Amino acid sequence: MAIEIDCEHGDAVQDVTPNAQGCAQCLAIGDRWVHLRMCLTCGNVGCCDDSKNKHASGHFRTVGHPLVQSFEPDEEWIWCYVDDAVVGEAPTLRTARRRGRSRRGERS
Ligand SMILES: [Zn+2]
Ligand SMILES: [Zn+2]
Ligand SMILES: [Zn+2]
């Protein structure tokens, strides 16, 4: 499954699986998050910058993995923390991509 990254950090993308279904660091301290992001280098799931603890960008600052994708089921964007921009699209994690809408209505 090829993921196209529109910046120079595409090499950071690995074939990852999410390490949790929520932000493990928030769960550990009993806190909440707004949205989740998944690191495309190691699969670390962290909370977004709208969340109080901002663990996803904290992960970038700690270990330097630049690319995350949204971990929300209906969002497909990839974010680069270095470029501070959306740099690509990823297949959704938990929902299959909608099939083409070209199914013909069959009438008898
Ligand atoms: Zn980048
Ligand atoms: Zn968190
Ligand atoms: Zn990572």
Segment 40-81, tens digit of pLDDT: 999 999 999 999 999 999 999 999 999 999 999 889 999 999
Q: Which pTM does this prediction carry? A: 0.82
Q: Tell me the residue range of the domain where 19 lies.
A: 14-89
Q: Which ligand is nearest to the CA of 49?
A: 2
In a domain, 60, yes or no: yes
91/23 Cα distance (integer angstroms): 20
Distance CA 22, CA 27 (A): 7
Residue whose C-alpha is closest to residue 65's, from 6, 3, 27, 14: 14
Q: How many CB atoms lie within 10 A of CB 21?
A: 11
Say what the pLDDT of residue 90 is. 83
Ligand 1 center to 89 CA (angstroms):
13
Q: How many domains does the structure of the chain reveal?
A: 1
Residue 106 belongs to a domain:
no
Residue 2 in any domain: the answer is no
Report residue 30's pLDDT band, with 50, 70 and 90 as the boundaries. Answer: very high
Residue 6 belongs to a domain: no
Cα–Cα dist 22/97, whole Å: 22
Rounded to the nearest angstrom, the distance between the alpha carbon of 9 and the centre of ligand 2 is 24
CA of 30 to the centre of ligand 3 (A): 22
